[in-house]
Amino acid sequence: MEIEVLRLGHRLPRDERISTHVALVARAFGARSITYSGQHDAGLEESVKKICETWGGPFKIKYNPDWRNLIKNFRGIKVHLTVYGEPLQNIIDNLRETPRDVLIILGGPKVPSEVYQLADFNISITLQPHSEVSALSIFLHEFFRGKELMKTFENAKVRVIPQPRGKKTLFLNNAPD
Amino acid sequence: MEIEVLRLGHRLPRDERISTHVALVARAFGARSITYSGQHDAGLEESVKKICETWGGPFKIKYNPDWRNLIKNFRGIKVHLTVYGEPLQNIIDNLRETPRDVLIILGGPKVPSEVYQLADFNISITLQPHSEVSALSIFLHEFFRGKELMKTFENAKVRVIPQPRGKKTLFLNNAPD
């Protein structure tokens, strides 16, 4: 079972940082990849690749403007996170048990109504407006029951050594100068 | 017991949307207020106030450039969320029991080292880089044990009626035209 994230309608320069944060949450909380549609953004891809090189793991970022076909052709469960959907807590227990891959679709205020139809589940987290970034993190945190908090990443060049005060990082083999 | 959020070092235009998302997460996940330092941003305040007027609740946004004195004078527990801190899962059980107010401090890559000393707890969520937005949401979600997902807000002009497909909102008394 693998999780992929689809970020719809990326706009430049407006979404640069939000989409970067969405991608970093996808990686840190256990998704395998993120695909974004909308405007192509080499800077976004570069930022995410740099994080992956330094912090490790097999996470990938991809661009695909044809989100409709991506959703249609996805073999697995399609979950759309939206303020208008059904409450997470009513659905997550069933979803967790799936052996199938999961596609998490993240939009914004102007998601085409077609997305609501193409998704197997439209899920809301709190029924209040907040953020794609927080919605994705809470979904993955609940999906993995918090196990993602202990996740480690292979081939990392740097690792944080947790401290009650201050910063401590360990530079591993192939560390940058 | 109340929760307040302090967002350090807001920069224009770079942080406009991230700080807005941080504020909306603070509100939706049960904090009482957010204070931000750094550059004053009337647009940020306006966005957050509009959301509160439409979606209800007593949440407030405030500006205070003197973050140092705000932290020093806060009567309660000061929690700094940082990738370098101790894992959330080691600390949250003790924190939840507190009858005292809690200040959640959110920085960014360039947090002054003083903040690590002024905080009672420096807490990390995953030991990986991701986002202030997700860090705050996961902290509050764990702090409230998911009860914030069912939170309702008084004096809302609009309320979402959860749907398996599509969008449905209810406009209440004093609804906008």
| Per-residue pLDDT tens digits for A73-127 | 999 999 999 999 999 999 999 999 999 999 999 996 689 999 999 999 999 999 9
> What are the residues facing A106 on neighbouring strands?
A7, A81
Residues of chain B short of pLDDT 50, as ranges, are 175-177
Are the beta carbons of A131 and B21 separated by less than 8 Å? yes
Task: Give the closest-approach CA distance of A177 to chain B in angstroms.
Answer: 19
Q: What is the pLDDT of residue B174?
A: 56
Contacts with A15 from chain B: Cβ below 8 Å: 17
Q: Tell me the residue ranges of DSSP E strands in A64-101.
A: 77-87
B38 in Cβ contact with B65 (< 8 Å): yes
Strands A60-63 and A102-106: unpaired
Q: How confident is the model at residue A177 (pLDDT cuts 50, 70, 90)?
A: very low
Tokens coding A120: 């197997």
Q: Which of B21, B83, B127 sits opposite A130 (nearest CB)?
A: B21
Residues 84-143 of A with CB under 8 A from B: 84-89, 113, 116-117, 121-122, 124-131, 133-134, 136-138, 141-142
Give tens-digit pLDDT for B75-93. Answer: 999 999 999 999 999 999 9
For this complex, say whether ipTM is above 0.90.
yes
Question: What is the structure's pLDDT at A121?
Answer: 98
Share of chain A above pLDDT 90, in %: 95
Q: Give kind and range of the element (H or E) at residue B92.
A: helix B88-96
pTM of the model: 0.96
Q: What per-residue confidence (pLDDT) applies to B168?
A: 96
Task: Compute the count of residue pairs across chains A and B with CB atoms less than 8 Å apart.
Answer: 170
pLDDT for res A174: 56
Q: Give the model's pLDDT for residue B173.
A: 73
Nearest to B87 among A88, A130, A162 (CB): A162
Whole-angstrom Cα distance, residue A2 to residue A99?
Answer: 9
Taking contacts as CB-CB distances below 8 angstroms, the residues of chain A near B118 are none
Q: What tokens does A7 get?
A: 């970020």
Nearest CA distance, B142 vs chain A (angstrom): 10
C-alpha–C-alpha distance, residues A79 and A106, integer Å? 9
Q: Is A103 helix (H, G, I), strand (E, B) or coil?
A: strand
